[in-house]
Amino acid sequence: MEETNNKKKKVITIVISIIIILILALAISYAYFSTQLSGSDQIVKVGKLELVLDETSEGITLDNAVGISDSKGLSTDGSTFELRNNGNKAVDYTIYLDDNTIGETDTRIDDKYLKYNLNKNGADTGATFHTRIGANPNRVLDSGTIEGGGTNKYSLNLWITDEVDGNYSGQVFSGKLRIEVSQERPLAVDTILAKANPEDLDYNSATSEQQKEMWTFTHPATEQTEALTDYRYIGAAPNNYVTFNNETWRIIGVFTVDDGRGNLEQRLKIIRNSSLEIYSWDNKDTSTGAADDWGKNNWTDARLNYLLNEGHENESVGGSLYWNSKSGTCYKSQNNATTNCDFTSTGLKEEAKSMIGDALWYLGGASNSNYVLTADNFYLSERGTTVRSGRDTSWVGKVGLIYPSDYGYATSGGTTTDRNMCLSKELLSWVSNDCTDNNWLRNNNNQYTITPSSQSSNQTVVIFANGQVLFFNASYNRHVFPTVFLKSTIKIIDGDGSISNPYKLAL
């Protein structure tokens, strides 16, 4: 009896408390943050994911605690809380019981003296040692998946076990719950490719759902590329809408892209859905380095390139204004003419810039000697090495324009002139017909492409409002639709690509 009384004297002053604090480490591929929540009905939201810590009790406080049996420990009042997923996506979670800060003069009780029971949705774990060694070194209380709309209800009991003898008088324990949640998503490329159609599927025989997804295209080797397969959206109204830079852009497709260092990756290529207004591709004259007064068709030092891309801030006119969301003067019209331009609202924001990767853009020139160029002919020319003397065959950068072949391949054709017939026709003859009317890249504007003429020193390929593709001087004012290759790590976090529910992207 005396030995028992001495044991009780050793423990009578212990105070054990557990503070219910949610530390939510939310890793949803594009964000990581931590926050501490206490009290009831605490909510963290990211996108449509919403997690709720609902503490329904006052936590655990054990004053003057003594060692008790498991049966008594299981019958004590627990600290109750709920974890609810009010979103519509399943999330994986792990609940830890971590040490909380104690006073500088306090002594923390050893784990070996503590046991716990976690009741989850009516099921007990049973009396379990609260230990950092052995089978549960990380103090994991629970882990699993909560489906969208699901709720887990918990009750946590914590007590001093009577199974271990020792002197722990005056020692304290303070703990906190840490809940790590992850919603790992596949890469955007993989998400979209999973729905791609085979190359030989007839568009007019496809279902309405299939018609809205990408088509497979195989290409032979060119002078600059090996044989490649890419995937493109075609037709008048595919599900290729995406929110980017807080604007509506559209996905051209998935392409094997050289990052400029020889690394090949499958990446999304997207284009701004509306024009930045009209500017010159390049309006140099003989006084500023052009062979004549109609501009120079070398994209590497083109004035439009300098306007769209980083690294040209020292230029007195137009330099990197779009990239940096600034206002100033831009080149427009013949003979070095300028105009006021303002990209403070339409320029690239930091989040968007972080999603764009360097890419090797092909600058092979197209021949305008007879205009007999189909989409396939343009594809080979773009990736060829035939250029005007002194012109570059490729360029590494971030913001470019579409290729003529992008436009040509985007048609689905119609019922009179089907897709195969359209692809066999030279793009010169595409004038307000089945080929142009069923092509989402036709936007009723005269728009520039990135491709120069291989014969002229000043002409580039232009897609006209009527759908026809022609060569015109680089100094003329045409609509500009910025086009970028996103990084391969981009993920889709929401949306279905429709105009009413565009894809939402994240790193």
pLDDT surpassing 60 at residue 14: no
**Rounded Cα–Cα distance for residues 118 and 112 (Å):** 17
Give the model's confidence band at 93: pLDDT under 50 very low, under 70 low, under 90 confident, else very high: confident
The C-alpha atoms of residue 369 and residue 26 are separated, in whole angstroms, by 59
Average pLDDT over residues 381-404: 97
**What pLDDT digit, counting tens, does each position of 43-59 carry?**
555 444 455 555 555 55
Tokens (6 digits) for 430: 């595409």
Query: Does the pLDDT value for residue 10 go beyond 60?
Result: no
- Output the pLDDT for position 488: 95
Domain residue ranges of the chain, discontinuous segments joined by +: 2-182, 188-506
**Does pLDDT of 182 surpass 90?**
no
Residue 156, phi-psi category: left (phi > 0), alpha (psi -120 to 50), beta (remainder): beta
pLDDT digit string (tens) for 415-451? 999 999 999 999 999 999 999 999 999 998 999 999 9
Give me 500's structure tokens.
Answer: 């009413």
Model confidence at 181: pLDDT above 60: yes
Mean pLDDT of the chain: 85
Which pair of structure tokens corresponds to residue 57? Answer: 């009790």
Is pLDDT at 343 greater than 90 in this prediction?
yes
Lowest-confidence segment of 122-136, 431-445, 452-466 by average pLDDT: 122-136
pLDDT at residue 33 in the model: 34
Q: What is the pLDDT of residue 136?
A: 63
Number of helices (H), then strands (E), belonging to the chain: the values are 10, 32
pLDDT of residue 366: 92
> What's residue 126's pLDDT?
86
Of 97 and 313, the one with more pLDDT? 313
Name the least confident of 59-68, 236-245, 375-384: 59-68
88 vs 79, residue with greater confidence:
79
Structure tokens at 36: 């501490």
pLDDT tens for residues 345-369?
A: 999 999 999 999 999 999 999 987 7
Q: Measure the N-to-C terminal CA separation of the chain; round to a whole number of Å.
A: 67
Res 22: pLDDT: 46
pTM beyond 0.85: the answer is no
Residue type, 433: N
Least confident of 5-14, 417-426, 496-505: 5-14
Greatest mean pLDDT among 34-48, 75-89, 358-372 lies in 358-372
pLDDT more than 70, % of the chain:
83
Among residues 281, 255, 280, 279, the alpha carbon closest in space to that of 269 is found at 255
User: Comparing 108-112, 204-208, 308-312, 476-480, which segment has the lowest mean pLDDT?
Assistant: 108-112
Phi and psi at 494, nearest 5°, equal -170, 165
Q: Which long-range contacts (CB under 8 A, 24 or more apart) does 100-105 make?
A: 100/19, 100/21, 100/174, 100/175, 100/176, 101/174, 102/172, 102/174, 103/172
- Angle, CA 427 vertex, CA 421 and CA 431 arms, to 5°: 90
Lowest-confidence region among 36-45, 370-379, 416-425: 36-45
pLDDT of residue 73: 84
pLDDT (average), residues 31-36: 36
Indicate if the pLDDT at residue 499 is higher than 50. yes
pLDDT band of residue 37 (cuts 50, 70, 90) is: very low
Strand partners, 217: 230
For 215-272, write each residue's pLDDT tens digit. Answer: 999 999 999 999 999 999 999 999 999 999 999 999 999 999 999 999 999 999 999 9
DSSP conformation class of 129: E
Q: How far is Cα of residue 370 from the mean position of the Cα atoms in its chain? A: 43
Model confidence band, residue 65 (pLDDT cutoffs 50, 70, 90): low
Compute the distance between CA of residue 375 and CA of residue 353 in angstroms, rounded to an integer: 31
pLDDT over threshold 50, residue 179: yes
pLDDT of res. 199: 96
Tell me the backbone φ, ψ of residue 312, rounded to 5 degrees. Answer: -120, 30
The whole-number average pLDDT for the span 377-397 is: 97
